């Protein structure tokens, strides 16, 4: 069994920032991730809607960390954590003993007891998810062009996005844009501008975490794009024929799930208290109660600050990663750790080209200026310079022409028809 000073599970914003801070001080680190890349999840919906290619928002973890000789990386999946023995077990059968452990495994889509819906309504958490949604969308238009049944054409041209948080709003807006602008003149038999896009939300407004004024503005922008926003609406059934919402059936072949998140199953084996979503309830220093050497950060952690749990945002994870790395680097004992304090740098969501909303404490912004700010901030957060350049040029080209260059279907005709 290999012993390591610090093990980090997950190469997202939290895990990567922690690794870099420890690597700069030449502390021994083993980073375990089930993929070989760091994924910029805030732009994942743009891969799903053919605006960007996967390589634009993903960077090899080994390439990012190559300058830090004290960091080792393995592509493997952590399947169990033994708190008492301080051992991480992986899917490949390996076991690693640690002094400190940082768990940054993120979350998975929550289907609220209906896991059977997942096959019809994929979530958006990985590149595979994004490529599945993209291919389903593009394949639907191709199959509609071949179909002689108007009912089938209507079902193939109907998209239902469930959940009106930032991901759902961004997905719905992007699908409306690609159908009404990018694909408008690409087909001879069907008219993509007739595509129906539904955004379904259980509460009374979209982007409920934003101020009401911005929420209303986002809804208006969506409706101008042709999105049908269904508020106070709940999903009752999802199957291969479509979705039932408030006793109303919508025939569709394209359903995207953006309605909620649940803790990664790995967290259940920690033996730590979990919140209703399955995230670990951590102490003020992001550690487990009774085990100061194990930290849970990012989306996997339920961290309460000023009476509310911090949202699952990239800046939260990044700041927690840096904070925990500092504790480990300085070997700060439990009793002398200042609690983590999140510095809120604002939240934002984009609705489509030139449309976005931004909130920073009491300051709000909407429309084109907010969209420019959204573009700048997201370019800044991309890890590699190459990604920033490619994404910037892709956005500029798309803005000027309305085209989306990543419209590839890898399946052949025969597979598309089955």
Just list the catalytic residues: 170
**348 and 378 in contact (C-beta within 8 Å)?**
no
Beta partners for 250?
243
Question: Could you identify the residue written with the tokens 């957060």?
Answer: 381
Sorted by sequence, the CB contacts under 8 Å of residue 387 that are 6+ apart come out as 40, 56, 57, 59
Burial class, 405, CB count within 10 angstroms (exposed 0-12 / middle 13-18 / buried 19+): middle
Residue environment code for 202-239, b if the CB has 16+ CB neighbours within 10 A, otherwise e:
beebbbeebeeebbbbbbebbeebbbebbeebebeebe
Beta partners for 334?
none
**Which is nearest to 18 in space by CA: 233, 246, 326, 365?**
326
Beta partners for 78?
90
The dihedral region occupied by 371, where left means phi > 0, alpha psi between -120 and 50, and beta the remainder, is: alpha
Phi, psi of 108 (to 5 degrees): -125, 160
**Which is nearest to 22 in space by CA: 293, 317, 283, 324?**
324
Q: Which long-range contacts (CB under 8 A, 24 or more apart) does 406-412 make?
A: 406/47, 406/50, 406/51, 406/52, 406/53, 406/134, 407/50, 407/138, 407/182, 408/138, 409/135, 409/138, 409/139, 409/142, 410/135, 411/135, 411/139
- Half-sphere exposure in the Cβ direction for 53 (13 Å, CA): 13
162's tokens:
């469930």
């Amino acid at each position: 069994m290999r012993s390591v000073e610090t093990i980090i599970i997950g190469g997202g914003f939290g895990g990567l920032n922690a690794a870099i801070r420890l690597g700069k001080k030449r502390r021994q680190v083993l980073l375990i991730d089930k993929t070989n890349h760091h994924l910029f999840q805030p732009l994942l919906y743009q891969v799903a809607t053919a605006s960007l290619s996967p390589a634009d928002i993903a960077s090899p973890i080994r390439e990012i960390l190559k300058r830090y000789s004290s960091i080792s990386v393995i592509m493997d999946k952590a399947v169990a954590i033994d708190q008492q023995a301080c051992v991480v077990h992986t899917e490949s059968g390996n076991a690693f003993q640690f002094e400190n452990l940082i768990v940054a495994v993120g979350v998975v889509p929550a289907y609220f007891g209906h896991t059977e819906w997942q096959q019809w309504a994929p979530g958006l958490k990985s590149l595979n998810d994004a490529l599945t949604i993209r291919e389903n969308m593009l394949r639907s238009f191709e199959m509609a062009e071949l179909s002689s049944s108007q009912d089938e054409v209507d079902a193939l041209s109907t998209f239902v996005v469930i959940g009106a948080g930032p991901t759902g709003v961004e997905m719905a807006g992007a699908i409306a844009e690609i159908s009404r602008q990018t694909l408008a003149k690409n087909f001879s038999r069907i008219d993509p501008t007739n595509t129906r896009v539904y955004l379904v939300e259980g509460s009374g407004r979209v982007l409920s975490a934003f101020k009401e004024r911005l929420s209303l503005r986002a809804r208006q922008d969506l409706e101008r794009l042709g999105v049908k926003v269904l508020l106070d609406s709940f999903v009752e059934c999802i199957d291969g024929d479509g979705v039932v919402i408030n006793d109303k059936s919508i025939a569709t072949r394209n359903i995207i799930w953006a309605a909620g998140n649940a803790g990664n199953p790995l967290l259940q084996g920690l033996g730590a208290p979990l919140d209703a979503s399955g995230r670990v309830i951590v102490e003020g220093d992001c550690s487990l109660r009774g085990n100061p050497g194990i930290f849970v950060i990012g989306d996997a952690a339920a961290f309460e600050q000023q009476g509310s749990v911090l949202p699952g945002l990239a800046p939260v994870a990044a700041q927690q990663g840096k904070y925990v790395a500092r504790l480990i680097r300085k070997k700060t004992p439990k009793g002398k750790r200042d609690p983590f304090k999140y510095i809120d740098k604002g939240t934002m969501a984009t609705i489509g080209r030139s449309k976005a909303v931004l909130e920073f404490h009491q300051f709000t912004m909407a429309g084109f200026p907010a969209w420019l700010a959204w573009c700048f901030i997201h370019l800044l957060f991309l890890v590699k310079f190459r990604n920033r350049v490619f994404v910037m040029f892709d956005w500029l080209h798309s803005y000027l022409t309305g085209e989306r260059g990543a419209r590839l279907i890898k399946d052949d005709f025969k597979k598309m028809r089955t």
